[in-house]
Amino acid sequence: MLRFVVRRAAEAVPLLFVVSLLVFGLIHAVPGGPLSLYLENPNVRPEDIERLRRAMGLDQPLVVQYWSWFTSFVRGDWGYSYADGRAVSTRMIERIPATLQLVGVSTIAAVVVSLLTALLSVRRTHIDHVSSVLAVAGISLPVFWLGLVLQLLFSNWLGWLPSSGRTSFGDGSLSDRALHLVMPAAVLAVAHWAGWMLYLRGSLRAAMATPLPRAARARGIGEVRILLHHALRLSLLPFVTVVLLDASIMASGAVVTESVFAWPGIGSLFTEALAKRDYAVLMAFLMCSSMAVIALSFLADVVVRALDPRTRSLE
């Protein structure tokens, strides 16, 4: 196991280096830069632009800029935001809790609902039909559209839920936080629930078609017990892998959700940094996302190896 961990960690280092090169190249290839917004003000003169370009280090060749960023990043210095001059690490750290909260709650919700609906779909045809239609809708509906429709319905018309934000001003109570979380978490969960439910349902059906349930039935074991103890156990392994791999994608999917619901997480920080071409923040966000993907896929491997002895013998 230790060898496996060391090997995977060693693989991650060159991968992250390549990712950083690609990401750096790509964000600098996009037209516009941190100075673009200054141009809108007619009173910002060429001398100002040149002065700001030098102050931000943007007058250096790209290779020099990259190397300077890379060496600092490796040392743990993520630089300063072009937009507000504060340390990028500070800006990221203050936003991460909100995103973890949103992604955590929606992942749990999506997992629980996927499990329930997949199990019920296998048992009941009419539930299967309804959940299939909902799943297709969940996959097809754009997150921003669903978010706005829910806002109209639950905030503007029914007045049950706050339309956005993380808390109401002047209220930090648990119930207030929970109410604010409902819509963004639901929107984020729906898209993933749809995919996960279909995946798990397929796995369950495949498991039910193996000789194992037939043998169990022959021994007089009930259908529910067969489903939960045999089919679900067989299906959980690939399901856990998919959930872990998707959870990292969910964090990036939160970019749109956070923007629609004014959720103060790293997703909305990313949107803001993209609009301002805040290279330092963009690099930090994209590197963190890459590290999260690598870490979670690593975790998925570890879980699979822990749960399935066959994978260990493959080494």
Partner 1 sequence: MRATRFTQAVAWTALSLVAACGGSDKAAEATAGTSTSASSELLIVGYDREPDTMNRYATHILEDIQTCVIEGLVTNDEKMRIIPVLAAEIPTVENGGVIMRTDGGMDVTWKLRPGVQWHDGTPHTSADVKFTVDAMIKGDWKPESTDGFDRISSVDTPDSLTAVVHYKEVYAPYQMQFARGTLPKHVLEGRDIDKATDYNRKPLGTGPYRVVEWKTGEHVLLEKSPNYWRGAEYPKIERILFRFVSNTNTRINQLKSGEVHLVALVPWDKVRELSGASAVRLNRVIGNGYEHVTLNEKHFPPFAELEVRRALAHAVNREQIVNSMLDTLVSVVNGPIQPLSWAYEPNVRSYAFDPAKSRAMLDAAGWKTGPDGIRAKNGTPLSFTLITQAGFAIRENIAQVLQQQFKDVGVNVSVRLIDGTSISSVWFAGDFDAMLHWWQSGADPEITLFFASDRTPPNGRNINYFADDSLTRILYASDRTADQDKRKLLLQQAQRRVAELVPEIVLYNTAKIDAVPATLRNFKGNPTNAGPFWNVHEWELAPPQ
Q: CB of 132: closest distance to partner 1 in angstroms?
A: 25
Q: At what angle do helices 88-123 and 266-276 cross, to 10 degrees?
A: 120
Asked if residue 151 binds partner 1 (CB under 8 A), the reply is yes
Which residue of 14, 42, 61, 211 would you call a contact of partner 1, by CB under 8 A?
42
Q: CB of 282: closest distance to partner 1 in angstroms?
A: 12
- Among candidate residues 286, 127, 101, 264, the one with its CA nearest the CA of residue 188: 101
The residue (of 140 and 156) whose beta carbon lies closer to partner 1 is: 156
Sorted by sequence, the CB contacts under 8 Å of residue 91 that are 6+ apart come out as 81, 84, 269, 281
DSSP characters for 122-167? HH-HHHHHHHHHHHHHHHHS-HHHHHHHHIIIIIIIS--S-SSSSS
Asked if residue 260 binds partner 1 (CB under 8 A), the reply is yes
Q: In the block, which residue shows the tokens 């749960």?
A: 307
Q: In the block, which residue shows the tokens 């929970």?
A: 178
Asked if residue 222 binds partner 1 (CB under 8 A), the reply is no
Q: Specify the amino acid at residue 81.
A: S
| Structure token digits, residue 202 | 């397929």
Q: Which of residues 100-129 bind partner 1 (CB under 8 A)?
A: 100-101, 104-105, 108-109, 112
Asked if residue 23 binds partner 1 (CB under 8 A), the reply is no
Applying CB under 8 A, which part among 71-79, 91-99, 203-211, 237-245 lies near partner 1?
A: 91-99
Asked if residue 58 binds partner 1 (CB under 8 A), the reply is no
Which residue of 62, 133, 136, 178 would you call a contact of partner 1, by CB under 8 A?
178
Which residue of 12, 60, 141, 272 would you call a contact of partner 1, by CB under 8 A?
272
Which residue of 262, 308, 311, 312 would you call a contact of partner 1, by CB under 8 A?
262
Which residue of 17, 25, 26, 51 would you call a contact of partner 1, by CB under 8 A?
51
Applying CB under 8 A, which part among 10-18, 19-27, 156-164, 218-226 lies near partner 1?
A: 156-164
| Structure token digits, residue 91 | 């800006």
Residue 26 near residue 279 (C-beta atoms within 8 A): no
3-state secondary structure of 241: helix
Residue 102 to residue 100: CA distance in whole angstroms: 6
Q: CB of 16: closest distance to partner 1 in angstroms?
A: 27
Asked if residue 159 binds partner 1 (CB under 8 A), the reply is yes
The residue (of 86 and 217) whose beta carbon lies closer to partner 1 is: 86
The residue (of 95 and 201) whose beta carbon lies closer to partner 1 is: 95
To the nearest 10°, the Cα dihedral for 89, 92, 98, 104? Answer: -90
Which residue of 52, 58, 130, 299 would you call a contact of partner 1, by CB under 8 A?
52
